[in-house]
Amino acid sequence: MFGSMLARFGVAVLAVCLSFTTAHAADDVAAHYTWKSVKVGGGGYIPGLIFSPVEKGLAYLRSDMGGIYRWDDNAKIWLPLQDGNAEPNYRGIESIAPDPVDGAVVYAAVGTYRGAPAAILRSNDRGTHWGTIPVPFRMGGNEEGRDLGERLAVDPNNTSILYFGSRYDGLQRSTDKGATWSKVASFPLPGLGVPGGHARPYAGLSFVVFDPQSGSKGAGSKTIFVGVADPGDHHLYRSDDAGKTWAPVANEPPASLVPGQAQIDTKGVLYITYANSMGPWGISDGAVMKLNTKTGAWTAISPDKGGFMGLSLDRQHESTLVVASAGGNSGPDTIYRSTDGGAHWTSLRELSKRDVSSVPFLYWGEKEAEFGWWITGLAIDPFDSGHIGYTTGATVYGTHELANADASKPLVWTPWVDGVEQTAVITLSSPAKGAPLLSGFGDIGGFVHWDLSVSPPITSNPMFTNTNTIDYAEKAPNVIVRSGTHSKHNRPVSYTLAYSTDSGKTWSGLKAPLPAGYIEIPQDKIGYNYGDPYIDANIIVSADGKSFVVTTPDPVVTVDRGKTWSKIEGLPAHRGWIVADRADASRFYAIDYASATLYVSTDGAHTFKAQPTAGLPADIASNEPKQREAVNPLMASPDKKGELWFLGADGLYRSTDGGKHFARTSGDLVVRHMDFGKAAPHGKGVALYAVRTMNGIDAIYRSLDQGASWQRINDGDHEYNRAFRRVAADKNVFGRVYVATDGRGIVYGEPGK
- Tell me the C-alpha distance between 566 and 569, whole Å: 9
Which DSSP letter does residue 607 get? B
Q: Judge: domain 425-567, CATH 3.30.300.30.
A: no
- Tell me the C-alpha distance between 32 and 399, whole Å: 40
Q: Which has the closest alpha carbon to 314: 349, 265, 350?
A: 265
- Tell me the C-alpha distance between 223 and 235, whole Å: 17
Question: ∠ CA(71), CA(74), CA(76), 5° rounding?
Answer: 55
Percent of the chain that is helix, strand, coil (3-state, to 5): 5, 35, 60
Q: Are 390 and 60 in contact (CB under 8 A)?
A: no
Q: Which has the closest alpha carbon to 43: 459, 458, 399, 529?
A: 458
Q: Which pLDDT belongs to residue 261? A: 98
Q: Which pLDDT belongs to residue 4? A: 30
Q: Which pLDDT belongs to residue 393? A: 93
Rounded to a whole number of angstroms, the distance between the first and last alpha carbons of the chain is 56
Percent of the chain topping pLDDT 90: 83
Q: Residue 6 belongs to what H/E stretch?
A: helix 2-8
Q: Which pLDDT belongs to residue 575? A: 82
Q: What is the gyration radius of the CA atoms in the chain, in angstroms?
A: 28
* pLDDT at residue 29 tops 60: no
Q: Are 324 and 333 in contact (CB under 8 A)?
A: yes
- Cis-peptide, bond into residue 751, ω within 30° of zero: no
CB under 8 Å to 63, separation ≥6 — which residues? 44, 45, 46, 47, 69, 91, 92, 93, 422, 743
- Tell me the C-alpha distance between 167 and 77, whole Å: 32
Q: Which pLDDT belongs to residue 522? A: 62
- Could you tell me which residues are beta bridge partners of residue 62? 48, 68
Q: Where does CATH 2.130.10.10 sit in the chain?
A: 1-37+672-753, 38-308+316-415, 425-567
Q: Residue 186 CB: number of other CB atoms within 10 A?
A: 16
- Tell me the C-alpha distance between 221 and 293, whole Å: 14
Residue 633, CA distances (Å) to 276, 481, 576, 672 in order: 45, 20, 9, 8
* pLDDT at residue 316 tops 50: yes
Q: What pLDDT, in 10s, does the model give residues 670-716?
A: 899 999 999 998 877 899 999 998 878 899 999 999 999 999 999 99
Q: Residue 75 belongs to what H/E stretch?
A: none
> Of 169, 230, 443, 536, which residue is the catalytic one?
443
- Tell me the C-alpha distance between 529 and 531, whole Å: 5
Which DSSP letter does residue 102 get? -
| pTM summary value | 0.94
Which DSSP letter does residue 5 get? H
DSSP-derived secondary structure for 274-314: EESSSSSSS---EEEEEEETTT--EEE--SSSS-EEEEEE-
Q: Which pLDDT belongs to residue 526? A: 57
- Cis-peptide, bond into residue 513, ω within 30° of zero: no
- Tell me the C-alpha distance between 333 and 324, whole Å: 7
Q: Residue 627 belongs to what H/E stretch?
A: none
Which DSSP letter does residue 424 get? B
Based on the residue annotation, tell me whether 265 is a catalytic residue of this protein: no
* pLDDT at residue 73 tops 90: yes
- Cis-peptide, bond into residue 280, ω within 30° of zero: yes
Task: Please tell me the number of Cα atoms within 13 Å of 647 on its side-chain side.
Answer: 23
- Comparing 502-516, 638-652, 657-671, the range with the smallest average pLDDT is 657-671
CB under 8 Å to 241, separation ≥6 — which residues? 222
Class of domain 38-308+316-415: mainly beta
Sign of the CA dihedral 493, 496, 497, 499?
positive
Q: Which has the closest alpha carbon to 483: 524, 437, 429, 525?
A: 429
- Tell me the C-alpha distance between 624 and 574, whole Å: 9
Q: Residue 2 belongs to what H/E stretch?
A: helix 2-8
- Comparing 134-143, 664-673, 677-686, the range with the smallest average pLDDT is 664-673
Model confidence band, residue 753 (pLDDT cutoffs 50, 70, 90): low
Give how far the C-alpha of residue 187 lies from the chain's centroid of Cα atoms, to the nearest Å: 33
- Tell me the C-alpha distance between 573 and 594, whole Å: 9
Q: Are 511 and 441 in contact (CB under 8 A)?
A: no
- Comparing 344-353, 389-398, 523-532, 738-747, the range with the smallest average pLDDT is 523-532
Q: Which pLDDT belongs to residue 531? A: 67
Q: Which has the closest alpha carbon to 148: 202, 196, 189?
A: 202
Q: What pLDDT, in 10s, does the model give residues 31-70?
A: 689 999 999 999 999 999 999 999 999 999 999 999 999 9
* pLDDT at residue 24 tops 50: no
Task: Please tell me the number of Cα atoms within 13 Å of 254 on its side-chain side.
Answer: 8
Q: Which fold has domain 1-37+672-753?
A: Methylamine Dehydrogenase; Chain H (2.130.10)
Which DSSP letter does residue 8 get? H
Q: Which pLDDT belongs to residue 10? A: 37
Per DSSP, helices labelled H in 73-171 are none
Based on the residue annotation, tell me whether 443 is a catalytic residue of this protein: yes
- Could you tell me which residues are beta bridge partners of residue 242? none
Q: Which pLDDT belongs to residue 330? A: 75
Give how far the C-alpha of residue 412 lies from the chain's centroid of Cα atoms, to the nearest Å: 27
Q: Which pLDDT belongs to residue 528? A: 53
